[in-house]
Amino acid sequence: MALERTFSIIKPDAVAKNVIGAIYNRFETAGLRIVASKMVHLSQEQAEGFYAEHKARPFFNALVSFMISGPVMVQVLEGENAVLKNREIMGATNPAEALAGTLRADYAASIDENAVHGSDAAASAAREIAYFFTEAELCARTR
C-alpha cells in the first residue's frame, strides 16, 4: 500500500503530563514518520471549528473547554496505512475500553480527557491536516 498521511493531536492532558516524547516514540516505533509538528494553544474558535462535526453532541462544550485548557502538539504522521495504524496505537475513545499498550490505556484518564486525537478516515485526515498546516510545511522524509 502507498504511503498515507494522518493528522494527530497530543491533547492538553498529555502535554501537561510531559509525555510528548513518549508518545512520539510510539509513533516512530510503529513505523510512522513525523512530517510536520508544532505546539499550539488553540483559541475557542479554532477548537470549535476543528470539532464542528460534533457541534450538536452533548459533550461539545466540555470538549472545546478541555481542548483550549492548555497547549497541544499537532502533527502529521506518514506511513503505510497511517490512518488505521494511528487509530490502533491510540486505542478506544474511552480509555476504560482501550487495549493494553495503547496510548489511551496508558495516558488517558477518562473519555473526556483522552490524551490523543487521530483522524478517522483519509478524507478527515486531509481536511484536518489542511486546518493546521500549509502544504509547504509538510516535509518529505525520503532520505
Residues marked active site are found at 117
- Which residue stretch of 18-26, 71-79, 107-115, 125-133 sits at the interface with ligand RTP (rule: CB under 6 A)? 107-115
The count of residues interacting with ligand RTP (CB under 6 A) is 10
114 among the known binding-site residues?
yes
133 among the known binding-site residues?
no
Instruction: For the segment 11-70, give every residue that binds ligand RTP (CB under 6 A).
Output: 54, 59, 63
Instruction: Give the residue from 67, 69, 78, 70 showing the smallest Cα distance to 37.
Output: 78
Cα separation, 54 vs 48, whole angstroms? 9
Out of 30, 120, 126, 138, the only residue in the binding site for ligand RTP (CB under 6 A) is 120
Q: Do the beta carbons of residue 12 and residue 40 sit within 8 Å? A: no
Out of 32, 48, 114, 133, the only residue in the binding site for ligand RTP (CB under 6 A) is 114
The CA-atom distances, in angstroms, between 44 and each of 65, 66, 68, 89, 119 are: 8, 10, 6, 28, 20
